[in-house]
Each structure stands twice: as C-alpha cells, then as structure tokens.
Chain A
C-alpha cells in the first residue's frame, strides 16, 4: 500500500502504462488512505463506487494499450467544480443537496483523459478564505505538525485547503483547486506541495461556482512540478462556453521541463520585502535566488511600484464581483430555502442561515463599494489601480522572463489562530494577489522549512500565457531545493 501511495502522478502514470500496477489497486489504496485519514476532513464527499468503476474502465483501456493521458490516475476535486449527479457544495450550507445536472469543463476534460474521481474536496465557503476554516463542513487540518513541541492542529491554508492537505497527506495523487487571490499557491506553500495558478483564461471557468469572475482560475495542486504540468495540460484549453477563455490550444507543458534555465532572466521585486516579514522567509527567498543563479539564470533587481496597493485593490474588486455572483443563491430554485412570512423574509432567512460570516462580510463589502455614491471612490478607483499593477508587470517583463518571490508571508498557523482578525487573515495573500490582479501565471514550489519545521514555498510568476517558462524555472528550483520532507500526519 505505502509503495503505491509513494508514486507521484508521473511515476504512477508510467507504472500503469507498463502494467506494473492497476488503476483499481491504486484507487483502492487511495480510498483506504482517505478513510484512514478522515479526521483531516479533506473530503466533503467521497465517491468510492464511481472511482472503482472509472478505475476498472481505465484498466481495460490500459490493458488494450489505448492509454489516455491521465488514464487510471485517482484525483480529488475541489468542491467548487460542478460534478454531474454528485453533491456540489462550494463549502456552503446554502447549496444543501445541490447535485448539478452538468459537469464543469475542467473536470470533464480530466475524465475525458481517463482520470479517476475519488471525491469532492473541502474548501473555504465559496473559496473565501486563507485557512480553510470558513467551511460549513468544518475546518480542514493539515497533515503537518510544528516541531515547537505543541500539538496544535494546523491550517492547510485556503481556500483550496482540502486540495492541498489531500495531496500532502497522500489522499489523492493530485487535486484540482481554484485560485482567486492565492487560493492554490498559499495552501501549496503551507502544505509543502506544488500549486499552479495558470494565466487567467487558460482554463475554462464554465461549471466552476463563481467567486470573483475576473480573477477565478482553476489549477492543479500536485507533489511535483512535472505532475502540475501533466495536470494542467488536461485541464486547460479553449471553451466557447466561457467568453473569457483564451482561444489557445493547451500546449505540452511537460515538454517545457528541460531543466535548463541558463540565460533566463529572473526578476526580484524590491517591493516584496515588506515590513515585518519574518527573517526566515527573507532567508528562504535569498536561498531561492542563489539556486536560480547557480543554475545559470541571470538575477535582475526589478521594481513593481504599485505592489502595496494590490491587497486593498483585491479586497474591493473580489467582494464587489462576489456580491453580485452570490445573488443567485436566493432559495428560489435550488439549495437551501428557509421559509419566511414574505418573499423578502424568505430571502433574508435563507441567505442569513445559508451563508457563513466571512461570505456575509464580503457580500456586504462588495455591495457597499458598488453602491451609488461610493462606486467611484472604491470600485472604479480599484479598477484603475488594477490597471497600474498590470502595467508594473508589463514593464518588468520587458527585462525579465520570470519573477521570483515568496509565496506567503508566514508558515502555517493553528486552526482558530487568526479567526478574530480578518485583516491579518487577508495579509496571507499579500504576495499572491498582485499576479492574480494582473492575470499572470504563477506557481508555488516547496523550497524549505521554517524554524518550526513547517514547509515554505517560493513563487515564480510568468508572462501572460507563458506557463512554459514558469514550469521550466519551477522545475529547476524544485530540483535545487530537493524538498523531500514528509508531514508527520496523514499516510
């Protein structure tokens, strides 16, 4: 069993094709691990029967030598992706009992390519959060434990906390996540795995429950950079059902992993040295810079002058869009309905009971910044600042091929630790939000451990639709860092 679980996605793919293992035994190994580690609360819904049926079909194809790109590989799916006939909750009470009649484009492409579905992964409600403590289905726990002597249960980061924790604890070979302001990369960093947010428009948003439409992007969480490249190829591609999906084919990202970054220009933005950043994060970043330099990359000091405005800009735009996107959860057609005396009473009760505190906070902020008299001062100004942030990156990419920064300003914290301070929680996204606002591809690669023995990642940001360069640089950083520590919990 342990042997099977130790295979990463690429290794399992090869073992399946070579007939060394079967998808059914691989799938059963994961289903067993999921059951054993259920206290991490990674999964909201498990689909063992469906998984075995899919695995058996994959085994048949594999036996016939007609292997599909992801044939027989068991994956977990963030519960933001609509999956046909399977409960889809977005981590919210308000979607009680909602089983879509349709399959999201991204997941349908994964199944098209032969992948096996293990279940639906826990997450912050409507992808709002940085610790996965905002789920109606309870917090997700990270398999990692601090070396500081305490036995605190740690957060996996968020909002794709279930997705990150499951990969780290080996409860799935790889998982899908979504990233609006850092929701793939920050949990990737907290859990010591790879998290890739592709360019906005690379993956279809069709069938993904919307949080903030101009920022939401699907992406993979995996054990290795190669695994992320394999996953993204299947997830990406043009979808005429999403008007913001780019009309570009999904390239073979794996082919970009040449291991050669000689002559590549890596930018280091001075504005990311923020006040109060822990020394160990600063040191990790410096180590990463050295690794890239040693590998033959050219390090270039750059400036992204509007960086400090990114977080407030994000926390205006994302809630504004969310306040409108979440208006459809009104108790009329699907999900939770709490009856009331009048129509307005029904709305108020349904939404009052159906949404958690963080979702309500953001809906209120969003409605406020869009309201008459405040629109210009908040939403419109935020859009202007967003344009300046994009311009910063455009200018920087005139002289560099990729940008290296820390992924998050800290290591993982204990469940409940920052719950009473939303601003402190929002600061988790300080390094990931700027590239989200600019729509750029970015990846978090595990590079080292904090003093408490918890994983820390570095982020590589690339040009629009240049995931290839991001993967190539990330592959080199991964190899140089040689991160191989396993968490104490999980399998």
Chain B
C-alpha cells in the first residue's frame, strides 16, 4: 500500500506520523472534579482549578491514570513505572493557567505497536509514546463584533496524546491506523472516539522523499477532526510539498492548518516563530509512580480486543477473514453478533448481520445502535431458518416485517402462518395437483426438456405461498415426474 505519488521528476514516497489526541472517558477532569459532559452550557463545568484562580492546586484524577494505563496495555505498550507531569508554558486566553500540564520527558506510556489491515496484508505501526495532558478551553470569536468569548468547559479535560512513529506511507494507511486505534479505544472504554464532538482529534506530520532517500522536512497539519479530512489534508499537503521541491524550492518546517472548504493547507507558523514552551516539571504535582500490582490489576481487567476477537471468530466460528474483520471493527457490532450467534449457526448469523441487517440499516441511514431489530430477535430469526421452520426466502419477508415494526420473528411467522410445510403428504398432494393441471408440460419434460423442472418447483411453491419445504418439494417432484 506504499502508494507512490508520481511527480515530474519521478516517484515520491509519502511519510506520515500521527499525533492523536483522545479525550479520556472519565466523570471528572484530569486535575479537578468538574464534570466533562459534552454540550453543556458555556462555563457551566468549570472548577476554581480549571479557571486558574489564585492559590488553586491540581490533584491528579486516578481514574484518568487508570484509563491511560489501560490504553497503553491495549496497544501493547510499555507502562512506565515512573512518569512526570510538566508545565508547557504559553499565553492564550483559553489557557487560564498560562501553562498546560502535560508530560514531556517521562510519559506514562512508552513504546507500543498497533497492527493495521490493508488490502495487501497487515502492517505494524510503531507507537512512540502516550502521555496525559490537559485540554484547553475554547475561544468563541463569533459572539460579539469586537470581543472574543471564552468557554472553559473543556479547560482541564484529560487527553491522551498518542504519538505514532513515521511508519505510515499513505493517507489510506493513516486512515486505517486511526480507525484501528479508535476501535481499540472504544473496546477499552477509554475514549468514545467521537471525532465530531472533538473527543478524537489528529495532527499529521507529513513529509515526502524519493523512495529509499533520507526523510524529508516535515510539516505538521493541526486539528484534523475527521478521517476524511485527514486523508484529504495529507494528500493535499503531499502534492504541495512535491510541487515546491520539484519547482526548485525547499520545504520549511511549519505548522499548517487544513481548510476543508478550500481543500488546502496554509501556514500557521514557521519553525522560527515556534513557541519556546519552557517545559519544566510541575512542582505542584509529585511524580506518578505505578506499582506492578496496580498494572497487573488493570491488565487482568482488559476486555478481548479486536485482533484477538477476530482470530477467535475465524478459528472457532469458521468465519472468513473479511467477515470477521468487519464484525470486530466496532465493539458494539461484535457484541451484537455474539448475541445473535449464541447457540446458532455462526456463518448464517454473520451473513444475516453483515448483508441483510447492515443493508437495511444503510438504506434508512441508521446505525446499529438504532436498529429496530434487536440482536435477540435477529437470533430468533436465524433459529427459525436453521430448524427448518421457515425457508430462507420466507425469512427475508419476515425480516422486512421485523425491520418495519420491530416485532420478533416467531410472532410474525405465527400470525401470518408462514411456518414451512414439511409434511410429505401435504406436499405430495400439492405436487399431484400441479402435475394434473399441467399435463402438456409433463409431456415436454419427459421428452427431454429438463429445464421445465424449475417451472414445476415454482408452481408448487406458489401454490404453497412459499411455505413448502424446498428440499422436500425437489425430492418428491423428481420422484413423481420420473415415475
């Protein structure tokens, strides 16, 4: 997938590293007890600490540390037994303290690895570190003609910054990485992964080089809040850099912003204007020390993660790699599937979920969470198919009814009398009636027009209103016609 980009002077390779900011799922902020719910009225979730009132002190929220460690374990990373909170100093109105508490030299989580699946196979992406830091507040520039307003609800909310190695080689790989990371975070319950609400944001470090050459100078594109925009921004930035270099220019190390409306990146600040953040250990906080027992406790609580689940679905359920991979991407989908498949035909369950249910949901633009068909009900339908109560064809009608009215399969089958007829006598009666009514076709069939067999099957099924057991119809019909 290391798709090369054609330039005027030959092929170029794209090199991408991502910094993902993931909002920690927790009731309270990283260093204060203020709430973190999304969408609250401005400045309604602000403690004295978040507003940096004089004399206020940060106290670490243990739950956020736990979530960070959990995430570290989920990406197979080294958990640092000792980590340190530092102050990153800069002035901005939505940063009340005048510094952000972050982790600079000693993050809570060290190196890890994440496997992404690409059309041509798997690829391991290195993770450099994960650290905890405070989010800033929000400046609102559209509330007043001359003034800016400040909303501090986000101020102090816990973020995990997850930094990848520059191992990604295309926008598609970057997208696969973010999707995989988001999937793991959701499985772990450490970040809700909601990019629209800003719970997951990306900065992309992008550079280009001739294949095999030294790394080029990178530019950082800030605050990408959807996977689609991220890909567009990366591709745009790659083209821009190639044009600059091929035009005889040099890439300046810059921080750039992506404008989705114009599909272009523009310079925010150059290296020369880069802030000197004057990092130093925050003297208000002690170093964070984690014991082996603490880490082992969290490790013991880890849920089955997507890679392990996928392997199990393939090995134990006999699912195809593609189906298994689709089923595990979202924790909710996998959980739904396991409920459907519990005690039932695993492959049939997978097919019904992936094609019928997802197909129907897509048509009405809904997600699995809003599905009118519950996992229990879909499982009931699978059971009716497996035990021969209804045929696959009838099942589709039943499913349509279930999707429309949210009812369970059994009651629909009962109410509409859709139960499959597997009574050989009844089917023989039907077949004899059809043969009697179509003697001309029988003669044609017997004279060698084999294709007419399908006509008889169709007639019988029609007469039975689709309820006749197809296997039985086939069997008896063949006997009668060949008699």
Residue in contact with B54 in the complex, picked from A213, A214, A327, A328, CB distance below 8 Å: A328
B60 — which chain A residues lie within 8 A by C-beta?
243
Assembly CA distance A332 to B91 (angstroms): 11
A95 — which chain B residues lie within 8 A by C-beta?
54
| A interface residue count range (under 10 / 10 to 19 / 20 to 34 / 35 or more) | 35 or more
A81 — which chain B residues lie within 8 A by C-beta?
55
Q: Is the CB of A371 within 8 A of B276?
A: yes
Q: Quick one: given A88-B54, A102-B48, are A343 and B280 in contact (CB under 8 Å)?
A: no
Q: Is the CB of B54 within 8 A of A370?
A: no
Q: Is the CB of A375 within 8 A of B55?
A: no
B59 — which chain A residues lie within 8 A by C-beta?
240-243
Q: Quick one: given A327-B91, A370-B278, A375-B280, are A333 and B57 in contact (CB under 8 Å)?
A: no
Smallest CB gap from B92: residue in A = A343
Residue in contact with A370 in the complex, picked from B52, B57, B280, B285, CB distance below 8 Å: B280
Q: Is the CB of B286 within 8 A of A332?
A: no
Q: Is the CB of B55 within 8 A of A104?
A: yes
Q: Within residues 72 to 104 of chain B, which ones have a CB less than 8 A from any CB in chain A?
A: 87, 89, 91, 93, 96-99
Q: Is the CB of A98 within 8 A of B54?
A: yes
Smallest CB gap from B88: residue in A = A324
Chain A window 307-351, contacts with chain B (Cβ cutoff 8 Å), 1 for yes, 0 for no: 000000000000011011011101011100000000100010000
Chain B window 30-70, contacts with chain A (Cβ cutoff 8 Å), 1 for yes, 0 for no: 00000000000000000010011111111110000000000
How many whole Å from A84's CB to the nearest CB in chain B? 12
Q: Within residues 223 to 243 of chain A, which ones have a CB less than 8 A from any CB in chain B?
A: 240-243
Q: Is the CB of B284 within 8 A of A244?
A: yes
Assembly CA distance A367 to B89 (angstroms): 10
A372 sits at the interface (CB 8 A): yes
Q: Within residues 181 to 235 of chain A, which ones have a CB less than 8 A from any CB in chain B?
A: 205-210, 212-214
B4 sits at the interface (CB 8 A): no
B283 sits at the interface (CB 8 A): yes
B93 — which chain A residues lie within 8 A by C-beta?
330, 332, 343
Smallest CB gap from B280: residue in A = A370
B434 — which chain A residues lie within 8 A by C-beta?
none
Assembly CA distance A347 to B98 (angstroms): 11
Assembly CA distance A242 to B57 (angstroms): 6
Assembly CA distance A375 to B150 (angstroms): 33
Q: From DSSP, what is the main secondary structure of chain A's interface residues? A: loop
How many whole Å from A54's CB to the nearest CB in chain B? 22
Smallest CB gap from A213: residue in B = B283
Smallest CB gap from A331: residue in B = B93
A379 sits at the interface (CB 8 A): yes
Residue in contact with A324 in the complex, picked from B89, B96, B276, B285, CB distance below 8 Å: B89
Smallest CB gap from A370: residue in B = B278
A244 — which chain B residues lie within 8 A by C-beta?
283-286
B87 — which chain A residues lie within 8 A by C-beta?
324
Assembly CA distance A81 to B150 (angstroms): 28
How many whole Å from B141's CB to the nearest CB in chain A? 11
A98 — which chain B residues lie within 8 A by C-beta?
54
A304 sits at the interface (CB 8 A): no
- Residues of A that sit less than 8 Å from B by CB: 81-82, 88, 90, 95, 98, 100-102, 104, 205-210, 212-214, 240-244, 320-321, 323-324, 326-328, 330, 332-334, 343, 347, 367, 370-372, 375, 379
- Residues of B that sit less than 8 Å from A by CB: 48, 51-60, 87, 89, 91, 93, 96-99, 150, 276, 278-280, 282-286
Give 5 closest A-B pairs by Cβ, nearest first. A327-B98, A214-B283, A213-B283, A370-B278, A328-B52
